[in-house]
A = this chain, B = another copy of it.
Amino acid sequence: MDEDKELLEKMKLRILRSFKWKNDVVSPLAIELGITKEEFEKILMDHLDMSSLESLHSTFESARPRCLSKRLHADLRLCWLCDVMEIVTVDEANRIKMSLVKEIIDGKEYEKVLEDGKKQIVDLLSI
């Protein structure tokens, strides 16, 4: 490998591994895509230049709640219950999702929070 290229890769890897979201995003994403963390790091380095990698850093804080909320919307089947059937209101859905997102960001396991969210939805619908 060309020396400059090698240096660039080292610098990119340093940025990647310094990310706060390495454990929260990069590693889980690699597992979910069925590839190793190293393979996923290579993908990120190949697709993003230094400044993109750096700027991703700052989007983390706002992107994580949004992506978690969308994931919960899908996993709680709110597309059906809220968007289509309208038996859960948008306000109720947002309230539940926001509280669940907070729990996940505070460190609780996604699957446990999801189960709890399903119970909240059923309770709400059974009133």
Q: What's the minimum C-beta distance from A28 to chain B, rounded to whole angstroms?
A: 8
User: Interface range on chain A: under 10, 10 to 19, 20 to 34, or 35 or more?
Assistant: 35 or more
> In A65-86, which residues have CB < 8 Å from any B CB?
66-67, 70-71, 73-75, 77, 79-81, 83-85
A34 to chain B, nearest CB (A): 6
Copy tally for this chain in the complex stands at 2
A8 close to chain B: CB less than 8 A = no
Q: Chain A: interface secondary structure?
A: helix
Specify which of B47, B74, B80, B118 is in contact with A74 (CB 8 Å cutoff).
B74
Residues in B whose Cβ lies below 8 Å from that of A105 = none
Assess whether A6 is interfacial by the CB under 8 Å rule. Answer: no
Give Cα A47–Cα B122 distance, bound, in whole angstroms. Answer: 13
On A, residues with C-beta under 8 Å from B are: 25, 29, 32-35, 43-44, 47-48, 56, 59, 63, 66-67, 70-71, 73-75, 77, 79-81, 83-85, 87, 115, 118-119, 121-122, 125-126
